[in-house]
Amino acid sequence: MNPPDTTKEQTDMSTAGGPSPDRPEVAPQAPKAADAKKTGHAVNVKDLNAYYGNQHAIKNVTIEFPANEVTALIGPSGSGKSTVVRCINRMHEEIPGARAEGCVTLDELDIYAPNVDVTAVRRLIGMVFQKPNPFPTMSIFDNVAAGLRLTGTKSSDLKALVHSSLQSVGLWDEVKDRLNEPGIGLSGGQQQRLCIARTVAIEPEVILMDEPASALDPISTLKIEELVDELKERYTIVIVTHNMQQAARVANSTVFMLDGEVIEHDETNKMFTNPSDERTERYVTGKFG
C-alpha cells in the first residue's frame, strides 16, 4: 500500500496560464451585477483636451463612467483630475481664458454640441464642492429649494421635495425642527450634506464630487462616504479625491491620472492590490506624490 500523498489537492485558482516575472494582464474578478442598472446614466469622456490659456492641462483623456457606479479620480496635485470633472458639467469654461475640446456624452447626449444650453447640462450633472458652500442669506429649507428657484423650475410640492432630499442625505432628523434657521449655522459635515441635498433636489442624473470630504473631520468624512454609497443606487457618481484610502473605500473603479493623462483605469480592488502600471504602484504605495 502506498502512503497517500500528503500534498494538497491541485486546484488551479488563477485565470492566467502561469506566473511570469513581468506583470501579466489580469481579467478583473468582480462579477458584474446582472444588468440591473438599466435606469442609470453613463458618462463618456473621449479625447478630451482642456486648456488654461496656453497651458495644456488635460491631454487626450478618455474615460468611461459606468451608470450607477462610483468612479474615483486619484492622482497628485496638478494631475488634472479636478479639471476633467469640471469639463463634464462645463464649469471649466467659466474660468476666464479656459477652454475644452473633445467629446463628452451623457448617455447619447453630446454635452458640447453647439447651441447646447449650458444651464440645462448643469441641471443634469450636479456638483458638490470641496468647501461646503450653502447660501448664507438662505435658511436650510431655502437652501435645499435653491436649486429649483434658481433654475426657475416649478415644483408641485416643494415641501415634500425638500423633505425627501434632506432624508436621502440623512439630515432630516437633525434639522427638521429648524428648517428656517440659516444654512450656515450647521456644522461643517452637516453643511456639506446640505449642499448634497441641494444638488439632489434638482434631480440630476450624475453627481460630480470634487474632494467632498477633504475639509471635514473624520466622522463627517465617513458619513459622507456612506452617503455616496447609498446615492449610487440612484445616480452615477464621480468623485475626485486626494485621499487614496477614501477612493479605496468608496469607489467601484478608480482612475489614476498624472500630468493631465490617464495612466490607469481599473477596478478599485485591482488598483490597490495589483496595479498594472509601475507609476500607479509607486503613487499608491506612497513612493511619490
Q: Is 120 in the site for other proteins (CB under 8 A)?
A: yes
Binding status of residue 284 toward other proteins by CB under 8 A: yes
Confirm or reject binding of residue 180 to other proteins (CB under 8 A).
no
Assess 30 for contact with other proteins (CB under 8 A): no
Cell numbers found for residue 32 = 458584474
Site string for other proteins, 246-265 (x = CB under 8 A): --x-----------------
> Between the CA of residue 90 and those of 95, 267, 288, what are the distances in Å?
10, 27, 31
Residue of the chain from 37, 59, 131, 279 that contacts other proteins (CB under 8 A) = 131
Which of 58, 59, 81, 61 has the alpha carbon at shortest distance from 71? 81
- Shorter beta-carbon distance to other proteins: residue 6 or 33: 6
- State yes or no: residue 87 binds other proteins (CB under 8 A): no
* CA distances to 46, 54, 85, 103, 168 from 100, in Å: 12, 12, 12, 9, 34
Specify the residue, 62 or 282, whose C-beta has the smaller distance to other proteins.
Answer: 282
- At 280, which amino acid appears? T
Residue 91 found at the interface with other proteins (CB under 8 A): yes
* Residue with the three cell numbers 450653502: 134
Q: Which positions from 137 to 176 touch other proteins by CB under 8 A, shown as an x/- string?
A: x--------xx-xxxx------------------------
| Beta carbons within 8 Å of 239's beta carbon, 6+ residues apart | 70, 71, 72, 73, 208, 209, 212, 228, 246, 247, 250, 251
* Binds other proteins by CB under 8 A, chosen from 29, 33, 180, 288: 288
Among 136, 159, 160, 178, contact with other proteins (rule: CB under 8 A)? 136
> How many residues does the structure list for the chain?
289
Distance CA 43, CA 89 (A): 11
Residue 6 touching other proteins (CB under 8 A) = yes
Count of other CB atoms within 10 angstroms of residue 16: 10
Selected range binding other proteins among 14-22, 106-114, 215-223, 256-264, rule: CB under 8 A:
14-22
Size of the site for other proteins (CB under 8 A): 64
Which one of 126, 183, 212, 260 is in contact with other proteins (CB under 8 A)? 126
Torsion over CA: 258, 264, 265, 269 (sign): negative
Least Å distance, CB 137 to other proteins, is: 4
Question: Which residues in this chain contact other proteins in the complex, by CB under 8 A?
Answer: 1-3, 5-8, 10-14, 16, 18-21, 23-24, 26, 89, 91, 94, 96, 119-123, 126-127, 129, 131, 133, 135-137, 146-147, 149-152, 182, 195, 198-199, 202, 244-245, 248, 271-275, 280-281, 284-289
